[in-house]
Structure 1
Amino acid sequence: MQVRFAGKTIIVTGAGSGIGRATARAFAAEGGQVVAADLSDAVEETVAGLDNAIALRIDAGDEGDIQRLVAAACDHFGGLDVFHANAGISGGADGIFDSSVELWTEVLRVNLIGPFLAIKHAAPRIVERGGGAILCTASVAGLRSGAGGPAYSASKAGVINLVQTAAQQLATSNVRVNAICPGLIETGMTQRAFDYAREVGKQDKLGQLNPLRRAGVPEEIASVALFLASDEASYVNGQAWAVDGGLSSSHPVTRQMFGKTAF
């Protein structure tokens, strides 16, 4: 078994379920000292049974909470090596003309300002350790239209550009910044769709638009996250990696037009 993160301290936000939980546990399994963070009490379940992990309840889009999170990791484990800014919300599927400014503001606060705060406050501490990695969970919805609601898609496109910009601004620091772009993954965010498909006997339709003809699981995203955070990816920087079964090679969609739907 690989132990790529022995002696390394890793923060994972959105670690109460789904991709965050799978990633936090995977880091711990490979020797990492993990700080699992989430707004939900479920984050305690993520670290249950792990000797090298602690849980904190925080709001990933609040600057004070992110500062507290980074300080706690450094105080408890002696420093910081990796930050996975994974927390996010969907914002629903309403179109541009049906959604509110309030919804857009909240989606951008959590999904885009959250990763900005992670980079802002984690990077200086990672530099103190001689370098490391920052990962941001984006989405294939941020690569082009057709894979999510407008607010969500715009926020994830922002994450991809943020990662590219941060990689440039952290030049010579030995801190790499990359984004992971999941496709359809069974998580708390998508659970209703999965449950409904199973209820009506259409579970075989889940993920049918990608060449693998299936949905993914959180552990498949976690595997990529661990690679990008490890020394094995030492020359990967400022990139957005799609992990989507090939969906983003085409993004086939039904186009919604103003006032009507085109088929």
Structure 2
Amino acid sequence: MGRLSGKRAIVTGAGSGIGRASARLFAHEGAQVVAVDRAEDAVDETAALIRKEGGTVSSVAADVSDETAVKAFVEHCIAEYGGLDVLYANAGISGGLVPLQEQTVGYWQEILAINLIGPFLAIKYASPHMIRQGHGSIICTASVAGLRANAGGTPYSASKAGVVSLVQTTANEFYGTGVRVNAICPGLIETGMTKPIFDGARARGSEDRIGQLNPLKRYGLPPEIAQAALFLASDDASYVNGQAIAVDGGLSSTHPFAGRR
């Protein structure tokens, strides 16, 4: 019996990185999974991996900032598997590091749409089903950048701080319903989103310095975040609610940084 045996789960951003690792782990632990990503080929590849590993999965290509699409993939999960027990709103973008004076409203809107409006929509449409059944676990990917400065660009950090607040406020809005809402705040993880950082360091021959600012002196990998998501999705976390849990090698204990000038 897996830790998610009998549970129905949606994972967004499942085409790569943390989302793919989480979808695979959830399925391995017994969940029936709906894998969602706006990159159709990538999410289909995730689904193929899960099926090869003996898991149950369906894949959906969707933009998490599109309200109609979010409503549809929630309804798809309920129709396909008979319910919804776990929602992992993981999809996100960094937007890169654009100097503040060069940032546009459109640039902010794109980042906020995916990183903050996306989780809001997922919670909006998943929660009524969970409330009716009296239980459910909602997990959102925030970031250490949403806790303190110097871990990401301005709009990215603001969006992730918004996710932390969203989790705290909705956990309380669902008072007495049995629905839990939590966030994971990853540190520096090697994913497609952080690829430019890793590529640049490797080109400079300084790969061994990636992640040196945290006490473990290393970067993280998607399966390490997936394990945190598995805990929050499972009944092992039955008394964990309204929390933003950093999985960052200890980075957020100080958020040290090097001077820019």
Deviation at 1:136, TM superposition (A): 0.3
- Matching residue within 157, 166, 179 for 1:175: 179
Residue 43 in structure 1 maps to residue 7 in structure 2: no
Structure 1 runs (4+) deviating above 4 angstroms are none
**Counterpart-to-counterpart distance in 2, 1:146 and 1:95:** 14
**Counterpart-to-counterpart distance in 2, 1:197 and 1:92:** 16
Compute the TM-score of the two structures, normalised by the length of structure 2. Answer: 0.96
Question: Which letter maps to 1:123?
Answer: S
Residue 150 in structure 1 maps to residue 149 in structure 2: no
Unmatched runs of 5 consecutive residues or more in structure 2:
none
Contact 1:18 1:188 in 2 (8 A): yes
Residue 112 in structure 1 maps to residue 111 in structure 2: no
Residue 208 in structure 1 maps to residue 212 in structure 2: yes
- The residue that corresponds to 1:81 in the other structure is 85
**Counterpart-to-counterpart distance in 2, 1:157 and 1:142:** 4
Unmatched runs of 5 consecutive residues or more in structure 1:
256-260
Deviation at 1:4, TM superposition (A): 1.2
State the Cα RMSD in Å.
1.1
The percent identity for this pair of structures is: 59
**Counterpart-to-counterpart distance in 2, 1:46 and 1:37:** 10
What secondary structure sits across from 1:48 in the alignment? helix
- The residue that corresponds to 1:188 in the other structure is 192
Deviation sequence 1:176-206 (CA, Å, 0-9, x none): 0000000000000001211221222211010
Contact 1:14 1:88 in 2 (8 A): yes
Deviation at 1:15, TM superposition (A): 0.3
Question: Which letter maps to 1:8?
Answer: K
- The residue that corresponds to 1:99 in the other structure is 103
- The residue that corresponds to 1:221 in the other structure is 225
Contact 1:79 1:129 in 2 (8 A): no
What secondary structure sits across from 2:217 in the alignment? coil
Contact 2:4 2:233 in 1 (8 A): no
Question: Which letter maps to 2:191?
Answer: T
- Matching residue within 64, 68, 75 for 2:68: 64
Deviation at 1:47, TM superposition (A): 1.1
- The residue that corresponds to 1:30 in the other structure is 29
Deviation at 1:85, TM superposition (A): 0.3
**Counterpart-to-counterpart distance in 1, 2:255 and 2:99:** 18
Question: When the two structures are aligned, how many residues end up with a matched partner?
Answer: 256
What secondary structure sits across from 1:34 in the alignment? strand
Deviation sequence 1:17-61 (CA, Å, 0-9, x none): 000000000000000000000000200111114240010000011
- The residue that corresponds to 1:230 in the other structure is 234
Q: How does 1:119-138 map to 2 (within 5 A)?
A: 119-138=123-142
- The residue that corresponds to 2:6 in the other structure is 7
What secondary structure sits across from 2:11 in the alignment? strand
What secondary structure sits across from 2:246 in the alignment? strand
Compute the TM-score of the two structures, normalised by the length of structure 1. Answer: 0.95
- The residue that corresponds to 1:258 in the other structure is none
Deviation at 1:129, TM superposition (A): 2.9
**Counterpart-to-counterpart distance in 2, 1:218 and 1:4:** 19
What secondary structure sits across from 1:176 in the alignment? strand
Deviation at 1:126, TM superposition (A): 1.5
Question: Which letter maps to 1:43?
Answer: V
Question: Which letter maps to 1:21?
Answer: R
Question: Which letter maps to 1:171?
Answer: Y
Residue 21 in structure 1 maps to residue 52 in structure 2: no
What secondary structure sits across from 1:227 in the alignment? helix
Deviation at 1:234, TM superposition (A): 0.7
Question: Which letter maps to 2:32?
Answer: Q
**Counterpart-to-counterpart distance in 2, 1:141 and 1:95:** 16
